[in-house]
Structure 1
Amino acid sequence: MRVAPFLRQHGGLILIIACWLIPGLLGRTPWKPDEAYTVGLVHHIATTGDWIVPTLAGEPFMEKPPIFFLLAALMGWAFGGLLPFHDAARLASALFIGLSMAALACATHDKTRPGTGRLAVLGLVSSLGLLVHAHQLITDLALMAGIACGLTGLSLIWRQPRWAGIWFGTGMGIAFMSKGLLGPGLLGVTAAALPILHAPARSRLYLQAMRQAFYAALPWLLIWPIALWLRHPELFAVWAWDNNIGRFLGLNTLGPKPEPGGYFAILPWFALPLWPIALWTVWTRRKQLRQDSQLLVPTLYFVLALAVLSLASDARALYALPLLPPLVMLITPLYGQERQPQRLSFALIPWLLFGLVWVLLVLGWIGLQTGMPALKGPRWLAMRPGFVAQFELWRPMLALLGAVALGWLARRHWRQGLSGFITSWCSGLAAVWLCFMLLWLPWLEWGSGFGPLVKQIRAAMPADTRCTTSWHLGEPQRAMFDYYGQFRLHRLEIDGGTNCDAILVQGHDLPMAITLQRQAWQEIWHGARPGDEKKEPYRLFRRRTSTP
């Protein structure tokens, strides 16, 4: 393949993806909540080689299967010499994003309309809800990739039957190894319901594809659960029941509780601009819905998945990522079907909106650099006390260069109907994200990273400290102390007492071990991350008299 023709054909798409994905993926420390504890799990695999029992700060963490942690550990091992370990591990997120893009491009590819695959990739990039999560070290990206592969398999059964079963089975396996039973359950229910609504699915071809999918999924579904059950049957029960069935049904206190309105309140902004276009596709082609598998498969999955997720006892905006692939698939049928060329003013709307955001980001950054009160904006800009801005010329220059290049790219596609609108939206979104990560990353990192805090506590701890007990430290915090401080905190909540000569307390409440023997303990350090003094303070206590 010649490089020059490839770049002429796909250079614009590569530019958008690079400006959208790379900034924020590299060059920063792990942030809580999700990234912080994930780094702890990945670091355990990288240092011990044990991928069967996910372990967080020395304790089994059976919330999720290990495929994402394992791949991230491999990335950390392969590129840890060139990048910090957490940056190298975060490359796993980019790989799963790439897998999602490749699967959706294959699912929507149409020889009569070359460009539908490109539109699908841009459709995934366009989602506002994916923007932040695409740069995080989170297992939900692997789940989304598994769902995308599974839907690709269902949509290809009547076009490429040889590969359809492999796509579907592999997608179910990746989804299972990412977050457990939810992903394969959603895909399985969709595959079971499809023959009821779609006559071609009631055929031998469909059964052959499902059989092939079964064989493709079997290794994913068996290897790790069997290995876990053989080593620790009790941990297998914790994973299978507590963190899958019990968590979904609300039989335990694991997971966040649903917000009022649930996903119906989340999706209007999370899936923008996909859902209006997808809704218009379904409405205008409702008469062909049951005959066209390209429409029926994503529509059926979306309806079933939304219903199942809405019934779950815990909910977060992050959990809506599996709803994005079907919406992406539903925007591509409109490609090239516009009745008339798109107006220039309609395609300009995204750039006008994102251009305004870009200007506000630049003005706020100038306010931080110069100290001008009029440009510092809302009070939330002062949430990083002690932050001192340092001028680095390359940051604004690169932000301006990226905005100009992306604006020129959008201008080339302004009159290309739906593709032009999505290209304009994605290029504007990428320009804003590039500007935000270049100019504001030092400010974000000042109050979000754990490295400086751990170093302060480590320096305040006496050299003769035998061991340290923790009180009310969450999973992200324990993982970060283990990752940065290279010392293990023994949880007071587990053993009920302390034989250690130091206690690290998170929050305002003191443990009973201190309140009952206040004279026996001395506070030797207190502090917090910048801006977290009231919300998340830390105090370090040392026993006044050493324990024999």
Structure 2
Amino acid sequence: MFTDTSLIAGTTIGLYGLLGLIKQEKTSYSCLWLIIGTVMTLLSKGVFIPGLLWICLLLAPIFLKQCRTKQYGLNTFLSGIIALVFILPWPVMLLIEHPDLFKVWFWDNNIGRFLGFSVEDLGARGNLTMIPEAVLLFALPSGVLAFIFILMNPIKSLSDEHYFLCSAFVVLGVVLLQISASGRALYLLPFIAPMAILATQTFIKIPQIIYKYLTLFSSILWSVLIIFLWGCYFLALFTDYKHWLTPLGRWLPMSYQIHFSGFIFTIAVLITAVWVAKNWLISKSPALRAAQNWVLGIATVWGLVFTLFVGWIDYTKGYQGTFLDLKEKLAGVYQDNDCMASYNIGESEAPMLYYYAHILHQQQKTFDAPKKCDWLLVLFLSEEIDPAPKGMVLFWQGHRPGQDRENLVVYKKAGLGDNK
């Protein structure tokens, strides 16, 4: 259900096909991959990434001589026509059947997020430091190394067929994200793969002695984290020792009790065994060994987190218990013909409200009594909640386990249901 997963896959496929066209290799298959990538990215999350792919496609003849041919133009034209054949039916049908939803998808989420006029309603307002921080930390170390390569080789990165596509795609993407009114580190995900390719050009030029220290550093870092995770897991299994994990209570509520699962335990042991046996599995080349050691450590740590602790994380971050409790309280009071307005409800809460409580809310921009609905759902990002708007009374209050700094509150019109 995570749209960015298909967006990353589509981006990688599209870049692969586009690179084939630029290098004039297996052009039929390259066109096919470009078409698939274009369709996947647009139907995944809108026009930004497919638009960026095709901007790079159109810029290629300006920077690369081999792309200034009729065959390149013909391949580009045919790929575009075929991609539109697969893309257009969905937005056209959406426009015909539900023009209001088409506006939300195309105008508000694509154009509005970039220009800023829909950010107040949809959230995720960006700032000047968000994307640079994401390049520095979220994409570490690929982001830093990629931009070092581009800055040190500006002409080569745009005039060489091996580097043009990744360089142009990354630079244009980061610049557009920087000037966009909406921004999240998550938006950088489609650029990680091309960044990693460019980063290798910087990484292989690092002095040999540094590879040794990088390997040693990552081995110590990830080994300590792996031991820490296993220690936390065993402490969490036994209630007598769970109090030692109290410092983690800010993120993982101590009210949850982990239950032993033989299957999950076995998978986690196998993941750890791969890390233990890494010296026999990874390359002997100093540069490749340092890179593989780092990547394997990341994979092992996240693998343990999402096996040993996935139930605890789901309990903490999920809205199931919260909205099922609301559904139970609304039973017999909230009628089929009722409607619920909402204020400050975001992208995370809204779909869960519908999924668990079967309530499709109607968003409003102010914390006032709704004009058309008898119910109002509000998300307060604090421990304190505001008094009910005039003419309404507090009906229900809840929050996710351990998340008392975020409170969901439902108000109802005064006198509503008193005679039921």
Q: Same fold (TM over 0.5)?
A: yes
Q: Is residue 166–residue 212 contact of structure 1 (8 Å, CA) maintained in 2?
A: no
Measure, in 2, the Cα distance between the counterparts of 1:446 and 1:302: 37
Indicate which of 159, 165, 170 corresponds to 2:25.
159
Structure-2 residue corresponding to 1:448: 317
Matches within 5 A, 1:211-222: 211-222=77-88
- In the alignment, is residue 142 of structure 1 matched against residue 15 of structure 2? no
- In the alignment, is residue 176 of structure 1 matched against residue 50 of structure 2? no
* 1:147 shift after superposition: 2.2
- In the alignment, is residue 545 of structure 1 matched against residue 418 of structure 2? yes
Q: Is residue 228–residue 235 contact of structure 1 (8 Å, CA) maintained in 2?
A: yes
Which of 280-289 and 197-206 deviates more?
280-289
2:61 maps to a residue whose letter is P
Q: Is residue 250–residue 402 contact of structure 2 (8 Å, CA) maintained in 1?
A: no
Structure-1 residue corresponding to 2:296: 427
Measure, in 2, the Cα distance between the counterparts of 1:200 and 1:440: 52
* 1:474 shift after superposition: 4.2
SS in 1 for 2:12: helix
Matches within 5 A, 1:132-531: 137-157=1-21, 158-252=24-118, 253=120, 254-279=122-147, 282=150, 288-331=156-199, 346-370=214-238, 371-372=240-241, 375-376=244-245, 378-381=247-250, 383-392=252-261, 395-463=264-332, 465-467=334-336, 469-470=339-340, 471-472=342-343, 473-485=345-357, 487-489=358-360, 491=362, 493=364, 496-497=370-371, 506-507=379-380, 508-509=385-386, 512=389, 515-516=390-391, 518=393, 523=395, 525-531=396-402
Q: Is residue 341–residue 416 contact of structure 1 (8 Å, CA) maintained in 2?
A: no
* 1:313 shift after superposition: 0.6
RMSD across aligned C-alpha pairs, in angstroms?
3.5
Q: TM-score, normalising length from structure 2?
A: 0.81
* 1:279 shift after superposition: 4.7
Q: Is residue 367–residue 375 contact of structure 1 (8 Å, CA) maintained in 2?
A: yes
- Cα deviation code 1:278-330 (max 9, x no counterpart): 35655786675455312111111111111111111110011111221311332
- In the alignment, is residue 533 of structure 1 matched against residue 404 of structure 2? yes
Q: Is residue 166–residue 216 contact of structure 1 (8 Å, CA) maintained in 2?
A: no
Instruction: Report sequence identity in percent.
Output: 24
Cα distance 1:251–1:543, how it changes in 2: closer, same or farther (>3 A)? closer
1:219 maps to a residue whose letter is V
Q: TM-score, normalising length from structure 1?
A: 0.64
Structure-2 residue corresponding to 1:68: none
Cα distance 1:207–1:415, how it changes in 2: closer, same or farther (>3 A)? same
Which of 209-218 and 337-346 deviates more?
337-346
- Cα deviation code 1:19-76 (max 9, x no counterpart): xxxxxxxxxxxxxxxxxxxxxxxxxxxxxxxxxxxxxxxxxxxxxxxxxxxxxxxxxx
2:416 maps to a residue whose letter is R
Measure, in 2, the Cα distance between the counterparts of 1:227 and 1:288: 45
Structure-2 residue corresponding to 1:61: none
Measure, in 2, the Cα distance between the counterparts of 1:539 and 1:238: 26
Higher RCO, Cα 8 Å, sep 6+: 1
Cα distance 1:498–1:375, how it changes in 2: closer, same or farther (>3 A)? same
- Cα deviation code 1:112-162 (max 9, x no counterpart): xxxxxxxxxxxxxxxxxxxxxxxxx32222222232222212211222222
Measure, in 2, the Cα distance between the counterparts of 1:335 and 1:260: 28
Aligned pair count reads: 403
Cα distance 1:147–1:445, how it changes in 2: closer, same or farther (>3 A)? closer
